[in-house]
Structure 1
Amino acid sequence: MHKFGYKSLLVLAFDLLALALAWCGAFWLRFNFVWPSDYNETILMGLAILLPVHILAFWLAGLYRGIWIFASLPDLKRVFKATFGSLLAMVLYALIFTPTPSVPRSLIVLFPLLLVAMMAGGRVAYRMWKEHRMFGALAGQGKPVIVVGAGRASAQLMRDMSCSPDWRVVCIVDDDPSKREREVSGHRVAGAIDDIGGLARELKARHVILAIPSASSELRRRVADQCSRAGLQLLTIPALEDIMSGKVAVNSIRRVEIEDLLGREMVLIDSNEVGALLAGKTVLVTGAGGSIGSELCRQIAHFAPARLVLVEQGEYALYSIEQWFSQYLPRQKIVPLTADVKDAVRIDEILAEFQPDVVFHAAAYKHVPLMEVGNAWQAVRNNVQGTLTMARAARQHGVRHFVMVSTDKAVNPTNVMGATKRLAEMLCQALCCTPGTTRFEIVRFGNVLGSNGSVIPKFQEQIARGGPVTVTHPDITRYFMSIPEAARLVLQAGSMGEGGEIFVLDMGEPVRIVDLARNMIRLSGFRESEIRIEFSGLRPGEKLYEELLADAEQTRPTHHPKLRIARNRPVPESLLAEVEAWLASPGSLSDEAVREGLQGWVPEYCPSCIPCREAKQEQCA
């Protein structure tokens, strides 16, 4: 229960004084600013009854739980509730006690109006006085900033910024002509987005804040272009999904990142379907410390699994995800384990002890050029043998669902990494055709923004050094999606699989890497004349573009708009035995021997296609 301290007593005294003044003032107004001496007894008797009744009404309305410096609409609602109780008490006094002379009927309007004005006005006046004392000296201080957007989010942002010594809003811009020359939180809507450059020069602003949480990528790019031309730094508030989920507040200002400009929409998944797969189950994730694996673990935890087994080869990566859970989700039961997915004894030991219901296999070597030269056999061992080891152990120990995370580089591969992932897909499909209760599903998607080894951290590092930014080819394109988006769709696909499917994620439109580099240079506050772009040539095994479906494949839709299922050619019955015999080869195989072996099982693997793709963007015969 709320403690009634001395501050609450002062507020109560103010409210009782407001009550007395409103009661007497209503009579004074009723008789045209002349005090009605004949009504003295009625007034005093009314006060004697109303004051104790009002104390109870004020208390029940919760008037003393609010803090005056934060007085707002909820406090005004409480004032209305208390006033209604006061009005009811006044009417009962007039009807039950029937004083002589009687209470004028006009007091039914005058009394509550005066009481609301005094109680609410006092609270607002105190807040204004207190804020002036605390923050009034900040007026005119801080860096001048232009706010984009004249909506509710910008109003809240500007209220918070008025209490900050760091920022000073000089104007608002919005494309809605009906808002032009109007004000939001005391700041004028001075023009449209296209006027940013001129307004910045006029008002000497160097910063712009995009205060539209639901802004489309097109709008973000347009604002970014305007800021780039004018040499302004663009900041933004968090996305709508982050605000709604409670991750961050509206006033959490940050720099605009390249992810904001790439046009990825918020992905919704069927929580009931995914929950049925994960809730109360033991879930194991391999590669749990990687960019995809760690996000999978975070997403899985939202569905309340009974236990989450984190399998990771790298000690520091495992430590990092273990510490994240310790800090943010300490109640989630996790089991962090170091293990190499190629180690059949260790994997068998883990699955025998923890008996997972679902396995998400995200462990893999993914870097194309590194796996192409000098490491081809290690790519085979990690991506093919590691997947086969995990899949066989999963079937042996009765795992219900085995979900392999694959890549678009497995489609018509021109590199060892892509070919090994395609072969791993085929092995999972082959195992699905053998006796057992395990359902094997494969999920295939493209590049993930900000993942380990991706192009974006590399560009950021090059820009920080002053350039140049190296792009392999002026026409090279890639599909991109965010890490959370990819993780959600992997979970959705895992919950939908019936066994043997290859799920293909909707990756949207491909992005030219040179455009990505230019946008990142601009967002960093530089021009291309300051940070130049150099073309270094395609690296070993690299394509100009990635494909999500092989030519011989067709797809069928699912009930989720972002997921389709690929129809693949049948897998040979002899595949498992042949690949296992190859993996048992003594010692390491040369890069050429690896390529020859992969071409035997993955006929669409064609390393010699790289030159013709670069020149013509055509499939080789």
Structure 2
Amino acid sequence: MLADSIMLALAAWLSFNILGITPAPQSDAVLLYSVGVIVLSVAGFFRIGLYRALLLYMGAQSGFIVIQGVTVAAGLFGAVYYFVLAPETPNNALVPVFWMVSLVFIGGSRFVARLALQSLIQNFRPKEPVIIYGAGSSGMQLLAALQSGNQYLPVAFVDDSREVLGSIVNGVRVYSPGALSELISNYSVRQILLAIPSATHAERKGILNRLEHLPVHVKTVPELFDMRSGKLHVDEVRDVDIEDLLGRDIVPPDRALMGACIENKAVLVTGAAGSIGSELCRQIISFKPAKLILLDSFEFGLYELEHELQRDKADETELVAVLGNVCNQALMRAVMQRFGIETVYHVAAYKQVPMVEKNVVEGVYNNIFGTTEAALAAVACDVRDFVLISTDKAVRPTNVMGATKRFAEQVLQALAAGKPKTCFSMVRFGNVLGSSGSVVPLFRRQISQGGPVTVTHPEVTRYFMTVEEAAQLVIQAGSMASGGDVFVLDMSEPIRIVDLARKMIHLMGYDVKDENAYRGDIAIEYTGLRPGEKLFEELLIGESVTGTEHPKIMRAEEDFLPWKQLENMLSSLRTACAELRLEDIRQLLMVAVVGFEPEGLLDDPLWMDRERDVKPEEAKVTVEGAGAAKPAPAKVTPLRKR
């Protein structure tokens, strides 16, 4: 208030001098009226809230308050001047000049004080210099948020658009991408923040490829949808999503296909608490099913998912969480009958290759018998659609997990050949980004800890897809099924895992340490292929594949064993699992699954304990006929094609 009083007095004195006006001789009256104007003006400032605005965070709204206060002061000054000091020969320019000078003094003093405070704070709490890539609306919002924060100091904008090059926004200049190396060197920048939330993944991949060789950590602002929905704010920067590195854009889902098996229907998702199952549930709940039943044996995950979906479900959707195991056919039948299930998405399975290799019996029991019991329960309860989520590891598998999934596929194919009321289909795809088994979080954690980043083999490649896209395509594929269909998702081109690791290291601001760069930061170590692991994955067993109405979904025609033979094998397999006869299990899987040639079961601790008691050449398997025992490999009847 004292500062504003002095500023108003100086503004009045300067206004008279600028215009060469000499006040009337009654100097005591001039002084008295001037003091009165100043006191009333400061009281007006207080009344309109000028002194409630914090100097450090003054913005446009505070500027409007300053203008209002100065206008009030000019009005009071004008009233005294016209009616008391010069009623006969007033100078009409005095009041406008006083208004402008007062605005400069009152507003300018606050602006200078704000700059001084910011400078003082930066000296005690230095900010990290950053470059913002993208000078659009999101970049502007990010700039404002960072300038008022205490972590980052934006030193430059970079944008591909020629229209904004050279312009200055809030004191920050816009440069072309070609100036990045010089900017990074001049300002000692260690981070670049991508403010391009509306760009496609392909566009972001192109930008990231240009940034990869720079010695900076690249981060990004949330996507446009997350900001518009209020879930995230523009200044909540995070590491670059791996889907941006892949450059894979999602084909917008067909709403008719998405809702065909879901809308106003009773839907069951097994394995609902897993990464793929939970995303399926999120997609399903948005299409307003009459009932959504979540089934899983993972208690805490099921609890968390139920609470998450309760917030998003429509009022007319009944949401039920069932704790149980898919191998329990009595439970599966009870659930399907009690809730009148019309569509089943069977996700429940053990998917970790090394873990299933070490726990063969449980892997076989859960993946094969879990699928079989769920499928038989669906037939018994006249469920309309049954969709199995499969894997690319089911194609010519070298591991137990892949063999069990291919066996499960054949169960559905054989059941479908009997023309039941239930329409069986299976959807096969590769690795899902963000799933519990993804290498991405592992690599990110290893890089954050200083390395090394572990890769099994320099030539190992994998297909990748986002969990959101995988869930959408699974739902759409299930809607196109006619019975016994094997759907294969278009995974684009496979990615070398070591290339993925290198990109992540570079984009997190580090250099790879190898024989060509001894001064690097993060080393890549090769650990060797794990038991049952392939160098590359396949999606098709044969060559017979046709397109569908969706560009990312194909339909494969593949051979399978008839149900009678599979039924006998299932009986033998159940006995072998109950008696922990791992060699019998191995032989049965080799008979049932084309191309399955495991090196052994040497990683399973149960096999290692029994190895001296059970010799492979003495193992017997029951394949055809009740109680018929034959040495492995068993006789196989001709394959049938669907």
Output the TM-score relative to the length of structure 1.
Answer: 0.72
1:354 matches 2:318: no
1:540 matches 2:555: no
Paired AA for residue 263 in structure 1 = G
- Match of 2:586, SS? helix
Match for residue 446 of structure 2 among 462, 479, 503: 462
User: Given that residues 197 and 227 in structure 1 are in contact (C-alpha distance below 8 angstroms), is that contact kept between their aligned partners in structure 2?
Assistant: no
- Match of 2:421, SS? coil
Q: Distance in 2 between matches of 1:333 and 1:322?
A: 11
Instruction: Provide, for residues 159-202 of structure 1, a one-character-per-residue CA deviation record: whole Å limited to 9, x for no partner.
Output: 44444343332211123334321234553212x22322210221
Paired AA for residue 569 in structure 2 = V
Paired AA for residue 545 in structure 1 = F
Instruction: Provide, for residues 136-160 of structure 1, a one-character-per-residue CA deviation record: whole Å limited to 9, x for no partner.
Output: 9547954322111233332333344
| C-alpha deviation, 1:336, in angstroms | 0.9
Structure 1 unaligned residues grouped into runs of 5+: 1-67, 76-125, 610-621
| C-alpha deviation, 1:328, in angstroms | 5.1
Match for residue 143 of structure 1 among 119, 125, 128: 128
Please give the residue correspondences for 1:428-467 in structure 2 after superposition, counting only pairs within 5 Å: 428-467=412-451
1:340 matches 2:331: no
The residue number in structure 1 matching 2:52 is none
Larger Rg: 2
1:372 matches 2:362: no
Number of residue pairs matched by the alignment: 489
Paired AA for residue 264 in structure 1 = R
User: Given that residues 573 and 588 in structure 2 are in contact (C-alpha distance below 8 angstroms), is that contact kept between their aligned partners in structure 1?
Assistant: no
Instruction: Provide, for residues 65-97 of structure 1, a one-character-per-residue CA deviation record: whole Å limited to 9, x for no partner.
Output: xxx9777xxx9xxxxxxxxxxxxxxxxxxxxxx
The residue number in structure 2 matching 1:484 is 468
The residue number in structure 2 matching 1:503 is 487
- Match of 1:283, SS? strand
Q: Distance in 1 between matches of 2:282 and 2:394?
A: 26
Distance 1:455 1:157, change over 3 A: same
Match for residue 598 of structure 1 among 589, 597, 607: 589
Match for residue 474 of structure 1 among 445, 458, 468: 458
- Match of 1:285, SS? strand
| C-alpha deviation, 1:581, in angstroms | 1.8
Distance 1:306 1:573, change over 3 A: closer
Output the TM-score relative to the length of structure 2.
Answer: 0.70
Match for residue 324 of structure 1 among 308, 311, 325: 308
User: Given that residues 430 and 575 in structure 1 are in contact (C-alpha distance below 8 angstroms), is that contact kept between their aligned partners in structure 2?
Assistant: no
- Match of 1:382, SS? helix
Q: Distance in 2 between matches of 1:597 and 1:542?
A: 20
| C-alpha deviation, 1:591, in angstroms | 3.5
The residue number in structure 2 matching 1:155 is 140
Match for residue 562 of structure 2 among 549, 569, 572: 572
- Match of 1:442, SS? strand
The residue number in structure 2 matching 1:523 is 507
Paired AA for residue 566 in structure 1 = A
Instruction: Provide, for residues 514-567 of structure 1, a one-character-per-residue CA deviation record: whole Å limited to 9, x for no partner.
Output: 1122222223333222221111111111000001111x2421111111111111
Q: Distance in 1 between matches of 2:307 and 2:107?
A: 42
User: Given that residues 145 and 167 in structure 1 are in contact (C-alpha distance below 8 angstroms), is that contact kept between their aligned partners in structure 2?
Assistant: yes
Match for residue 274 of structure 2 among 285, 290, 294: 290
User: Given that residues 257 and 475 in structure 2 are in contact (C-alpha distance below 8 angstroms), is that contact kept between their aligned partners in structure 1?
Assistant: no
Q: Distance in 2 between matches of 1:270 and 1:596?
A: 44
Structure 2 unaligned residues grouped into runs of 5+: 1-57, 65-105, 514-520, 601-642
- Comparing 250-259 and 400-409, the one that deviates more: 250-259
Q: Distance in 2 between matches of 1:546 and 1:584?
A: 29
- Match of 1:310, SS? strand
Identity %: 44
Distance 1:127 1:477, change over 3 A: farther
| C-alpha deviation, 1:406, in angstroms | 0.2
| C-alpha deviation, 1:235, in angstroms | 1.5
- Match of 1:565, SS? strand
The residue number in structure 1 matching 2:89 is none
| C-alpha deviation, 1:223, in angstroms | 4.7
User: Given that residues 406 and 442 in structure 1 are in contact (C-alpha distance below 8 angstroms), is that contact kept between their aligned partners in structure 2?
Assistant: yes
The residue number in structure 1 matching 2:575 is 585
Q: Distance in 2 between matches of 1:186 and 1:318?
A: 51
Match for residue 276 of structure 1 among 260, 264, 269: 260
